[in-house]
Structure 1
C-alpha cells in the first residue's frame, strides 16, 4: 500500500471503553435426564464441574467449549499452511532458476565466454596467499602450480605438443595466455586445449585476443573447478626483488624457475617474428624463460601474478621467443593484462590508444621520438603536433625513441588527455592530446 492510497482501518474504541461480552447463560439445576450442558465440550464420560448442586453460577471468563473454528487444535498443523508452503516452494524454485539463468548468461550473453560486466562479473582473486616475509620458492610453487596450465594449439595439420602456457583467471573457466600462443590455431579454426597440473584436458575457445598487447583470453566451460591465480601489482615491484616464472618450457609442464626483477618499464616488442606491433612496458627478469613459457605467470614471493611471460632476448639482439634463455626475459605487467582482459570479457575485443601520427622506430640515439607524418583529423593534428617534432616526454616521463613513445602512449587508455613535451625548432613546447582508439 502506498502513502497515497486510502486505508480501510476498522474503527477503534476509545480508551477506557468496555468490550461487550455475551451475558452468562442461566444456570439449570442438574437432573438425571438433563441434556448436556451447553458449555461442556467434554469428552465422553467426563463429569462437568458445573453438575454439582452447590454450584450457583458458572465461573468467570469465556465458556470452556470447543475452540473457535478459526483456531487449530493444539498439535495439529493449520490447514492453510500447506498451500502457503507449496506456493513458497514454487516461488523459490522460479527465483532460483532465474538466478541460475542469469549467472549463465553472464558468461554467454555476447559470445562464448564473454561477460557483460567484464572482470567485475567474474570471481578473480587478489588476496596474497603467502605472507610478506615469505622467502620460500617451494611455497610459491605449491600455491601457483594448480593455477598454471599448458596451452595446446593445433593448426595446419600440426598436432600435439604444448605450444605455450597460461594461468587461471577466475572461477568461471577463463584462462590468460599470449596472443602469439593461439593466433595461428584461432585463425585456422584449429582445436585449442588447456591442460592442468594433473594432466586433465579441457577444450577451450578464444574469447578474444589483442596482438597489440599480446594478450589472449580463453574460455573452457568444464574448467570452472580450477583454482584462480591471485593477481598482484607490478607497480609494487622493486629491482632486485625475487620472482618466480612458471610454465611449460619446451613442452615440460609445471616447470618452475626463479630469479630477480632485473629492470622495470623496459620498452620492448613481443610476439612472433611476423608481428612487430606488440609493444609493452615490460618487467625484465633473469628467471629462466624459454619457448613454451609464453603466457605463463611471473609471480612475486607472496604468490601473486605480477606479469605474463612473453619474450626473451637473444644473442643477436632480437627479442622474441624462439631461441633459448640467456637470462633476459620480459613479462607484460599485470596492470595491462587486467585492462585488456576486462575489455575482451565485455566485448570479445580489445582497444588501444592512438594519436594518429607515424614515428621513426629505427632511430635510437636517445634524444626522443621524431614524428614522420601527422594524419588529418586525428588527435595529433587537433592537438597541434607537426611533422618533424621530436617528442621527448609523455606525462613527464622521458621518451628516448620511437618504441618508447609507442609504449608510453599504450600505457594510457583511449579518451585520456595526455601531455606531450616536444622539441620544435630548438624550443620545448607542451601539447595536450586526447587519445583516440583502435581495435586490435
Structure 2
C-alpha cells in the first residue's frame, strides 16, 4: 500500500482517487486526460465525474447528485408554454400565404429602414424631405463604472488567452489561460495541455486572434496547473493581477473569462456560492487532482478550463477548472448547470512559483493510506501507515479516524486530502483523530513529493 494512497475502488466506481499522501515518487503523478474534441467543437471539458447510480461519492451530502464529468450533454427540448388556467388552447390556422407575406414585409421594411437610416446619416444632422434641420448631439461612449462586470471585462480580456493544444496526430482541443508576467508566461490547467505533452503542439491565441507558439515550462497533475512560455508575447501584454481567494465572501460577485466551446473572449458573471469545497478533478481511474475549490454559479463550460475567475476589483481569485453536471455521461456533451469550481489563487501562486524556479511542483503528504471510496461524514479512516513516514513518526496507526486538520473539520478521505494540500511541505499540522472511542491529537510534519 502506498503513502496516503486511497484504496483503489472497483473499476466501475470512480468515486475514489489517489490521496495527497501518496508515497514519494520520483516522477509526477500521471496527468488526468480529457476526451479531446476538435477545436471547432469546443474545448476540453474537465470536471468532476461520478456515476449517477451506485455508491455515494466522498463529500457528497444526502440527496446530492454526484459530480459528473463536464462532457456536454444534449440540451433538453424546450416545452411549450402553458396557457392560462382553465383556458383551452385555441388552434390558429394560418394561410399558406402568411409566412411569405411576413418575410416579404420584413424585407421591405428592412430596405426602407436602410434608406431612411442612410438619409439620417448622410444628411449631416438633417432629415431629407425639405423638413427643417434637426440638431444632432454626438457624445462620447459612457465608460463602464468601476467595480462593474463591464469594467472588469475591459480590464481582463486583453490578459486572457485561448489555448489550442494538439497531439502528434493533430487532434486535441481548446482551453483558456491568462498572462502571468511580461516575459510571456501563461497559466492554464494541466488537463488543457495534457494531450500536447508528448510531441504535441501548443498555441496561445490572444483576444485579437493573433497566434503565438508556446512551450511547456512545467506542470502539476496533482494541482491541475501548468505554466507555458510564449516568447513572442513577451512585453506585449499586461499581466493579470492576482488577488486572494481568502478574502472572498459567499454571495460576492465574480466574473469568469475564457473560451467556452471554443468561443474566445467570453465573459460570464455570477456569485461565489461556496468556499472551501472539496472536489475531485480527474478522468476515470486516474482522478488524482483534489482541490479545495471556490464554487461559483457563473456559467463555466468546456473550454473555460484554465481561465481566470475574477473579483470586481479586477483581480484573479481562482483558475476555473471543473464543473458539475446533472447527467453523468462520459460520452455525451455537458454544459453549465450553475455549479463550477475554481482552484484558489493562493495555491496557484505557490505551484506556479515552484514550477518557475525548479520546473516541477511538490505537494505535501503524511504517508498514510486513507479510504476515499465511501463518505460517512464521521471522518477519514486510515487504512495503513508507511514505515518511516510522517504519519508513523507522529504515532498514527491503521484504524484511526481523522476528524480535523487544524481547525478544519474532516468528513471523509477526500476532505482530509484537500485539507492537507492547503499546507506546504515542511509545515507541521495538528491532526485530531479518534481511536477506540477516545479522541487524541498528533502533530505531523508534512513531507514533499513531486507531482
Out of 191, 212, 223, the residue aligned to residue 222 of structure 2 is 212
Q: Take 2:392 and 2:174, find their aligned partners in 1: how far apart are those partners? A: 43
CA drift at 1:272: 3.5
Matching of residue 191 in structure 1 with residue 201 in structure 2:
yes
Normalised TM-score (structure 2): 0.66
Q: Take 1:274 and 1:266, find their aligned partners in 2: how far apart are those partners? A: 21
Assess if the C-alpha contact under 8 Å between 2:429 and 2:443 holds in 1. yes
Q: Take 1:416 and 1:321, find their aligned partners in 2: how far apart are those partners? A: 43
Bigger drift between 134-143 and 421-430 goes to: 134-143
Out of 423, 429, 432, the residue aligned to residue 412 of structure 1 is 423
Q: Take 1:379 and 1:143, find their aligned partners in 2: how far apart are those partners? A: 46
Q: Take 1:377 and 1:316, find their aligned partners in 2: how far apart are those partners? A: 44
Per-residue CA distance 1:373-392 (angstroms, 9 max, x = gap): 11111001111010000000
- Partner residue in 1 for 2:232: 222
CA drift at 1:321: 11
Out of 373, 381, 387, the residue aligned to residue 370 of structure 1 is 381
- Written as runs of structure 1 = structure 2, the 5 A alignment for 1:300-379 is 300-316=311-327, 323-379=334-390
Structure with larger Rg? 1
- Partner residue in 2 for 1:75: none
Assess if the C-alpha contact under 8 Å between 1:152 and 1:163 holds in 2. yes
CA drift at 1:314: 1.2
Higher relative contact order (CA 8 A, sep 6+): 2
Per-residue CA distance 1:161-196 (angstroms, 9 max, x = gap): x5100000011110000000011211x210101000
Q: Take 1:318 and 1:365, find their aligned partners in 2: how far apart are those partners? A: 26
Assess if the C-alpha contact under 8 Å between 1:312 and 1:319 holds in 2. no
**5+ residue gaps in structure 1?**
1-132
3-state DSSP of counterpart to 2:250: coil
Assess if the C-alpha contact under 8 Å between 1:313 and 1:320 holds in 2. no
- Partner residue in 2 for 1:402: 413
Cα 1:223–1:217 change in 2 (3 A) is same
- Written as runs of structure 1 = structure 2, the 5 A alignment for 1:71-110 is none
Cα 1:321–1:184 change in 2 (3 A) is farther
Q: CA RMSD in A?
A: 1.8
CA drift at 1:149: 0.2
Per-residue CA distance 1:46-88 (angstroms, 9 max, x = gap): xxxxxxxxxxxxxxxxxxxxxxxxxxxxxxxxxxxxxxxxxxx
- Partner residue in 2 for 1:283: 294
- Partner residue in 2 for 1:261: 272
Size of the alignment, in residue pairs? Answer: 306
Per-residue CA distance 1:287-308 (angstroms, 9 max, x = gap): 0000000000000011000000
Assess if the C-alpha contact under 8 Å between 1:193 and 1:202 holds in 2. yes
Assess if the C-alpha contact under 8 Å between 1:269 and 1:319 holds in 2. no
CA drift at 1:157: 1.8
Out of 177, 197, 210, the residue aligned to residue 200 of structure 1 is 210
